[in-house]
Chains A and B, each alone.
Chain A
Amino acid sequence: MKVDFSAVVIGVSAGGFQALHTLLPLFPKAFPSPVIVVQHRMAGEDDFFIDSLNNKSRLTVKEAEEKEEIRPGTAYIAPGGYHLLVEKDHTFSLSVDEPVCYARPSIDVLFETAARVYGSHLVGIILTGANSDGSNGIKTIKQGSGLTIAQDPETAEVNLMPLSAIATHCIDFILPLEEIPSFLTNLVEDTHDNS
């Protein structure tokens, strides 16, 4: 199989602190695409959370900033209290629109705007959570021929969010958390071998 992707978007909610601390450090430094994360949490918890992830990861982990250019080798975390959107010119924008599924940032908002920009070159991943946010986003990514992954609900701290994503019938792969980064890296390498 070969997939050429330009961005990875990840949605995670309850249990996310632990899940991201497991997942992000497993990405290689030279991972060739940006990783963009919406984690549901309270505004104001941002600094500690992001510093801690950055210290443990080979990717640069930082908060996504308004109008910032989206670059590979970096994991961007949506700021608390704002929706994170992807613009056509590959920059971020923020909004304070009403919460979606009680959440701001919302996974659906990130996924839907990213799908519009990256189309089939997008990978969308749903991890642990007690919410159905992200399921609509997964549908949109699939409609745009992107690739979709759900964390194996068995391995999720809270299985509701991956189960809800899987119930859309738009999930391509169900994987344990630890296997996701190597799975993605292999996809990229396959692509490069074939081209």
Chain B
Amino acid sequence: MNNEEIEINILLNAIQLKYGYDFTQYADASLTRRIHKSLADSGYNRISEMITPLIHDKEFFNVFLNNLTVNVTEMFRDPPFFHNLREKVIPYLKTFPFIKVWSVGVATGEEVYSLAILLKEEGLYDKALIYATDFNDTVLEAAQKGIYPAQSIKTSTRNYQKSGGKHSFATYYHADYDSVIFDRALKKNIVFANHNLATDGVFGEMNLILCRNVLIYFNRELQDRVLKLFHDSLRTNGFLCLGTRETIDFSTVVDAFVPIKKRLRIFQKKRDQTQEISDEG
């Protein structure tokens, strides 16, 4: 281990001991880059010098945490994905009297509002319960507010239209001077909650899980843990949607899923793997 690796190691341990956040199984390159960004902002010279303020100054830690995790998101990100969700998955979900949806790593909420709009247009919203989780309280608060900078609306509108949106996008928000506020009614069936994929457990009986552009930040072991967690949280025939460059190929649960639209990372859970294993045993 070189000095920098030692310093990062100790720093991550300190954070875990003090605040419970476990970053030890995150993909290294991005994490190291983000830590260096915090270091540059902090004015300290060495990574290890940040350990003292991290432990003793909660505000310093909050800033550090927001810097460390990547919250960049947008509405209807990857419009072809939302288009296929509408065409391939929604018709199946319509056959249920009630559905549970889990949007994981929602960041500032754009993804879960996109989902809410889609469900509304398909007449599913009123029989849906949507869990929106992230491990960062700062972004969760922003998600709960549903207020976004006005300049983001151009991209949002374009994405919405490309994703097969059926109405005028402007009906979903109220524009203020420099911000747009999304319709409160979209929040009615959304439960915002803190959930850490590295340490927390199963959310049961989901019909649909969206976890997009979160797994890319994890190493293979943590990816595998999380994919197992999703497997266990889904009902049989439930759907799992990942970011368009994420993969389940290396996971131990890969055989439990069939791709519905492989390119866009839409999978359906076909059977229960634990059951299968005990059947054999």
Contact = CB atoms under 8 A, between A and B. Distances in A.
B70 A93 contact: no
B163 to A, nearest CB: 14
B277 interface: no
B245 A95 contact: no
A66 B246 contact: yes
Interface string B14-31: 000000000000011110
B216 interface: yes
Contact of B30 (A65, A67, A97): A97
Contacts of B247: 65-67
Contact of A85 (B33, B213, B220, B246): B33
A132 B234 CA distance: 46
B29 A87 contact: yes
B72 interface: yes
Interface in B219-267: 220, 223, 243, 245-247, 250
A93 B30 contact: yes
Contacts of A6: none
B172 interface: no
Interface string A32-66: 00000000000000000000000000000000011
A150 interface: no
Which of B32, B213, B245, B247: most chain A CB closer than 10 A? B245
A86 B213 contact: no
A85 B34 CA distance: 12
A179 interface: no
Given A67-B247, A79-B245, A82-B245, A96 B29 contact: no
Given A93-B27, A93-B216, A95-B216, A65 B245 contact: yes
Interface string B199-230: 00000000000000100110010010000000
A75 to B, nearest CB: 18
A45 B133 CA distance: 32
6 contacts: A85-B27, A85-B29, A93-B27, A96-B243, A97-B30, A98-B70
Interface of B: 27-30, 32-34, 70, 72, 213, 216-217, 220, 223, 243, 245-247, 250
Given A88-B28, A113-B33, 19 more contacts: A65-B245, A67-B223, A79-B245, A85-B27, A87-B27, A93-B29, A94-B216, A95-B216, A95-B217, A96-B213, A96-B216, A97-B30, A97-B33, A98-B70, A98-B72, A109-B33, A113-B29, A113-B32, A117-B29
